[in-house]
A and B are shown apart, each in its own frame.
Chain A
Amino acid sequence: MVLLEIFDPKARPRPVGIDLGTTNSLVAFVKNERPVAIADCNGVTLLPSVVAYAESGVTVGDGAKTRASSYPRDTIVSVKRFMGRGADDPETRRMGPYEFVTPGAGEANVVKFKVGAGTRAERVVTPVEVSAEILRALVRLAEDELTHIGGAVITVPAYFDDAQRQATRDAGRLAGLEVLRLLNEPTAAALAYGLEKKKNGTFAVYDLGGGTFDVTVLVLEDGVFQVRSTGGDSALGGDDMDRAIAEDVFAQLGLETSARTPTLIRMVLDAARAMKHTLTEADHAETQLPAKHGDKTVRIERSRFDALIVPLLERTGLACRRALKDAGLTKEQIDGVILVGGATRVPAVRAYVAKTFGKEPLADIDPDQVVALGAAVQADLLAGEGPKDDVLLLDVLPLSLGIEVGGGVVDKILPRNTTIPAAARATYTTQEDKQTGFEIHVVQGEREMVADNRSLARFTLRGIPPMAAGLAKLEVTFRVNADGMLDVDALETTTGVHQKVMVKPSYGLDDETVEQMLMDALDHGEDDLLLRRLAENRVEAHRLITATGKAMATESALLIPGERESITSAMRALEEAARGEDPAKIHDRIEELDEASREFAGRRMNHAIARAIEGRRVDDVEASPSRPSLDAH
């Protein structure tokens, strides 16, 4: 990392947008107010999301892809499908020819692949680590073009649950990225389109990626993208089309399930994918594959392919109709349908979308790039580079959040499609006399019974003073931040004791594990970490100084006498510290500047609220009672 360049205006850290896809990944940034995808030296923007582990080292992309048929167990393909999944999930084992390691007792319940088995390079990796390799490859690509990367927006399917989001964020952290925001893919796509077209209207985004399907209904008005509803299936995508073709191919080859070796499965899947691509243009596709008695030519007609994928399309249609219903809209009210994901190139998909929404979908932007381009736009907005006041995304919680109550039933705390950031509280009580602990099980999903939903976390609230049953009052607060990520805490209100709750994710890695992985990934452990902290603190210092200076310049009327001087002096002190080498000192000065400008910031907030509520006087707003503030996360 080149630390010296941070304050050099010519090599400003540039924010990037990353589409961490199931099949391909790519990175984009905003160049002269337009998002562009970054290409490698061969002019290729799509990096296959394939990671190969070999004795010679780790390879990502095309190099890894070519190894997939020969070393299927050591080459992780479509790792995104494993993100945030439990090792015991029956879906998991179905998803590839890998050697899975069952986590030991007390270990995190995450998928673990054993790669390089029997060689010196034998090791166990998690999907988070595999994804981090892909991100590192993208960072290297971006650094060739931009020298220095200043934070990233990483996209996730809107339908990703909390565990899957957490895993994605961990992968970013592990790759050494400052993750500015996790952005829902359909929202990113709309952002890419919206900015180009500057139209108001209601749009549906139909996103059929390699492994996930999302549909999102959103309204664009005066530059604000408001997500109305979102739905989908986090285990449905173009890969399923490949699998449908592959099944057909196996049947043509006359191969029983028992004859399907991992190498052969990989080979047939690759052939299936190639045939799918051919069928986008041609009316049939052929390929040579080894059968029982020598090679055999396998042929698939377009019409056969179209028929094979009908069940998949119908599943997407179901989600589309539900999303429209949730948004309270009919298909006639949709002004445009945006296509995202390589699988939407399939003519049968386009025809199905046209039929479902009653209009031809938009496809002006490359469906493989549109998400990364939108992410780049959002990264640019977040880093304060773009026209900030014009565009805003208001996203929603994709799946309801709830708590297990008696009889395995879910008590929904935050319903799906709630605009985020959001918070909600629920109060519970003890069921037995002198009960001092209270177990809380957090789940995500729409079903009534706990068993049918996704388990997110369990924790026990301890140290409740012994009381008669029903007397203790436990207030559980759910907070969902703008990344769609959950934070839970609990308070016993009769005693006012705030319990520090340790949430143990049901699926996923805890903070210490990620921190340890981070240390392991760095060459010189502690030293590198210190350098990184210094770099991060300097970036934050720089940002805060710029933002504070700008606020004083634009809203000087809200400063009270003496305030400008005290804030300016705190700014100077921070500048001074940022020139030094001590990250802790920078951190302290940041806090001091924050404190010095706190009241000014409060006044600016109230002023902004009053402006938003036209016709109301500032004093009215200031006088209105506000609830105790919720912690930022």
Chain B
Amino acid sequence: MDPFATLGIDRRFDVDLPALEKRHRELSRALHPDRFADAGASERKATLAKAVEVNEAWRIVRDPIQRAEALFALAGVVVDEAHTPKPTPELLMEAMELREMLEEAKEKRDLAAIERLAGKVDASRRAAEDKLCAGFAEKERKHAKIEALVPVLGELRFHKRFLDEVSAIEDAIAEADVAAQS
């Protein structure tokens, strides 16, 4: 499936999210099962399948990592977790350091430190996304150039895992606080 074609948008990394949301709304208006409550079985089936496809495309394009994966796949570059090249030693070091600091902040329940770390990773995430925006903006997409972008996807995956963990830690701390009150 080409999620960009399903949504009728250009194959780029820098998508206009509000416009995308509007497009998804319009397509849903045309395809949502609620519109076909009275229709015959085959029409319901066809529109449901299309509505599901539109929602899936939306889910993919809305998420930076899945969007990048889709762009790589459409360019003929395989990028599943198994095929992502190993990160450079510098990056690996940095990632390990960040993880250790997060672990430490978690032990101490130091919310300010956790927030600082999250801010730092979030800034790197934005920088990585900018690289992908530039890389996938060019009209002429040379295979080698696209392949050179693959490590950026690895970085994004790291950022996401890190930020997800931050979010889980914050939730756990908030939950523990509420539990302590009752």
Contacts and interface: CB of A to CB of B under 8 A. Distances in A.
Interface of A: 180-181, 221-222, 224, 226, 310-311, 314-315, 317-318, 321-322, 325, 381-384, 388-389, 392-394, 418-424, 479, 481-482, 543-544, 546-548, 590-591, 593-595, 597-598, 601-602, 605, 608-609, 611-613, 616, 621, 624-627, 629-632
Interface in B161-181: 167, 171, 174-175, 178, 181
A227 to B, nearest CB: 12
B106 interface: no
Among A418, A482, A605, A612, max chain B CB count under 10 A is at: A612
Contacts of B141: none
B171 A322 contact: yes
Interface in B3-47: 5-8, 21-35, 37-47
A381 B34 contact: yes
Contacts of B171: 322
Given A419-B58, A630-B48, A632-B44, A546 B38 contact: yes
A621 B5 CA distance: 8
B157 interface: no
A325 B59 CA distance: 18
Given A311-B182, A419-B59, A630 B52 contact: yes
Given A482-B33, A608-B30, A613-B23, A602 B182 contact: no
B82 interface: no
B2 A624 contact: yes
Contacts of B178: 311, 314-315, 317-318
A78 B23 CA distance: 43
B127 to A, nearest CB: 20
Contacts of A383: 37-38
Contacts of B46: 601-602, 605, 629
Contacts of A325: 167
Contact of B59 (A318, A418, A621): A418
16 contacts: A180-B37, A181-B34, A226-B25, A388-B35, A394-B28, A419-B28, A422-B55, A422-B56, A482-B32, A548-B40, A594-B42, A601-B43, A605-B43, A608-B31, A612-B27, A627-B49
B178 to A, nearest CB: 5
A418 B55 contact: yes
Given A311-B182, A419-B55, A422-B55, A392 B29 contact: yes
A590 B40 CA distance: 8
Contacts of A590: 40-41
Contacts of A546: 38
Nearest to A384: B38
Contact of A424 (B24, B56, B167): B56
Given A322-B171, A382-B37, A388-B35, A613 B25 contact: no
B53 interface: yes
B53 to A, nearest CB: 6
**Chain B contact residues: over half helix, strand or loop, or mixed?**
helix
A479 B40 CA distance: 20
B68 interface: no
Contact of B52 (A389, A421, A625): A421
B50 interface: yes
Given A609-B27, A630-B48, A597 B43 contact: yes
A613 B8 contact: yes
Contacts of A310: 181-182
A612 B42 contact: no
A611 B26 CA distance: 9
Given A325-B167, A479-B52, A616-B8, A314 B41 contact: no
B28 A392 contact: yes
B118 interface: no
A601 B33 contact: no
Interface size class of B (residues with CB under 8 A): 35 or more
A315 B23 CA distance: 37
B71 to A, nearest CB: 17
A547 B8 contact: no
A348 B130 CA distance: 47
Given A394-B25, A418-B59, A608-B31, A629 B40 contact: no
Nearest to A393: B34
A605 B52 contact: no
Contacts of B181: 310-311, 314
A537 to B, nearest CB: 13
Nearest to B21: A226
B49 A594 contact: no
B144 interface: no
A389 B26 CA distance: 11
B55 A627 contact: no
A423 B34 contact: no
B30 A611 contact: yes
A622 B182 CA distance: 59
A479 B42 CA distance: 18
Contacts of A315: 178, 182
A595 B49 CA distance: 18
Contacts of A321: 174
Contacts of A419: 24, 28, 55, 58-59
B74 to A, nearest CB: 12
B52 A423 contact: yes
Given A221-B25, A315-B178, A421 B55 contact: yes
For the complex of A and B, list the 8 residue pairs with the smallest distance between their C-beta atoms, beginning with the closest.
A311-B182, A613-B8, A594-B40, A632-B45, A601-B43, A608-B30, A612-B26, A629-B49
B45 A591 contact: no
Contacts of B32: 392, 394, 482
B117 interface: no
Contacts of A543: 38
Given A594-B41, A612-B26, A481 B33 contact: yes
B102 to A, nearest CB: 17
B51 interface: yes
B50 A392 contact: no
B26 to A, nearest CB: 4
Contact of A631 (B8, B45, B55, B175): B45
Contacts of B175: 318
Contacts of A421: 33, 48, 51-52, 55
B1 interface: yes
Nearest to A550: B38
Nearest to A312: B182
Contacts of B58: 419
A630 B49 contact: yes
